[in-house]
Amino acid sequence: MNPMPNNPPAPPKAAEPSFRVLLTGSTGTVGSAVLELLASDSRFEVHAIVRRPQLSGGRWVEHVFDLSRDDFIGPLSHLEFDYIIDCAQPRYEEAGTWEYFGVEHLQKLEALCTERTRRLVHTGGVWVFGNQPAGSSIDEGTPLNPLGYARPGVPTLAHVVRPSRFPWVQLCLPSIVYGTRGPLVGIKDAVVRGASMVIDDPSIECSVIERTDLAGAYLAVLEASFAERFFVVAEPAAVPRLSLYGIVAEILGVPFSAKPRDAVSIGLSKEEFEVASASQPVDSRLIRMRTSWSNRFTFRTDVRSLLGFSTPC
């Protein structure tokens, strides 16, 4: 019998991360899904900006400060990033928020760029395109016609897609990002309370995407090589807003009724009613052609399980 060696071989060392990523908005509906995906990939060393300490379990590095108040260049100036992903978005109901999340916010991120920086990814919203003509869908060539509350966001879009030395890409997200958290939770609560503000008109459509599918789109943008600076992202098929609310009501096992247009408009501001009556189907063929991304989930078939409902409650 061969004697046991005195010094057994050491286990192989884990591979060092290849890329360093900075993520803003990392606790939001979108940003948290991006954070989870990147943190689960050993290629990435993820640095997340948070307002309050989170339970990261060592999976990412936290930088605790508030983007709306602090100069975040100084605390991060000793680091170089391969990728910067900006998922921080203003709360539209808070007056004056855009002064923190406008072009100046993007310029601060640009100040963190070095020769190492390969790509910056900014998050936008489909509402900057406004309510398009019936029968049309939004794509990368659609002219801007922003809804009222989205108008302050247009300068950021123009800044990102302009020719410059900064490798910006803008992802324009659909009407509804659904899943275990996000706007769908508010729709569920409204249906339960019988306070859902949905117009009885099946022609009003929402573009939708599941949040982990959306995170995959961010990863695809990091990995792919392309010339475009702008992509709209959504599932291939839009969902009538009336159907969306009806499916949620069916899952919950509660009665649901829509309201005529005039009844919905009562008590809403002009901008709120503009959102409630807008139709926003999205054509996301370009990102599918330019990257390896495709969505795994679809709202019509997967929303029940994604929200944790196997039977009506």
The CA–CA distances, whole Å, from 28 to 91, 236, 258 equal 11, 24, 30
**Residue 19: predicted pLDDT:** 97
The alpha carbon of residue 77 and the mean position of all alpha carbons in its chain are separated, in whole angstroms, by 26
Q: Tens digits of per-residue pLDDT, 105-127?
A: 999 999 999 999 999 999 999 99
The CA–CA distances, whole Å, from 98 to 92, 103, 156, 204, 249 equal 8, 9, 10, 28, 35
Model confidence at 58: pLDDT above 60 = yes
Instruction: Record the tokens describing residue 189, joined without a space.
Output: 């609560």
Lowest mean per-residue pLDDT among 3-17, 76-90, 108-122, 209-223: 3-17
**Residue 149: predicted pLDDT:** 80
d(CA 250, CA 236): 23
Contact assessment for residue 22 and residue 85, using Cβ atoms and an 8 Å cutoff: yes
Domain for residue 51, yes or no?
yes
In the chain, the number of structural domains is 1
Q: Tens digits of per-residue pLDDT, 222-264?
A: 999 999 999 999 999 999 999 999 998 988 888 888 999 999 9
Domain for residue 249, yes or no?
yes
Domain for residue 99, yes or no?
yes
More confident position, 236 or 188: 236
Mean pLDDT across 190-213 = 90
d(CA 251, CA 178): 15
Contact assessment for residue 273 and residue 147, using Cβ atoms and an 8 Å cutoff: no
Q: Is 227 exposed, middle or buried (0-12, 13-18, 19+ CB in 10 A)?
A: exposed
pTM over 0.85: yes
The domain in which residue 113 lies consists of 19-306
Domain for residue 240, yes or no?
yes
Model confidence at 158: pLDDT above 80 = yes
Q: In 10 A of CB 63, how many CB atoms?
A: 18
Lowest mean per-residue pLDDT among 140-149, 156-165, 187-196: 187-196
Domain for residue 276, yes or no?
yes
Instruction: Record the tokens describing residue 47, joined without a space.
Output: 């640095």
More confident position, 92 or 212: 212
**Residue 313: predicted pLDDT:** 37
Cross-strand partners of 176:
208
More confident position, 283 or 93: 283
Domain for residue 223, yes or no?
yes
Domain for residue 73, yes or no?
yes
Per the prediction, the chain carries an average pLDDT of 87
Residue in this structure with the two tokens 């569920």, named with its chain if needed: 188
Domain for residue 14, yes or no?
no
Residue 177: CATH number of its domain? 3.40.50.720
**Residue 123: predicted pLDDT:** 95
Lowest mean per-residue pLDDT among 72-76, 166-170, 298-302: 72-76
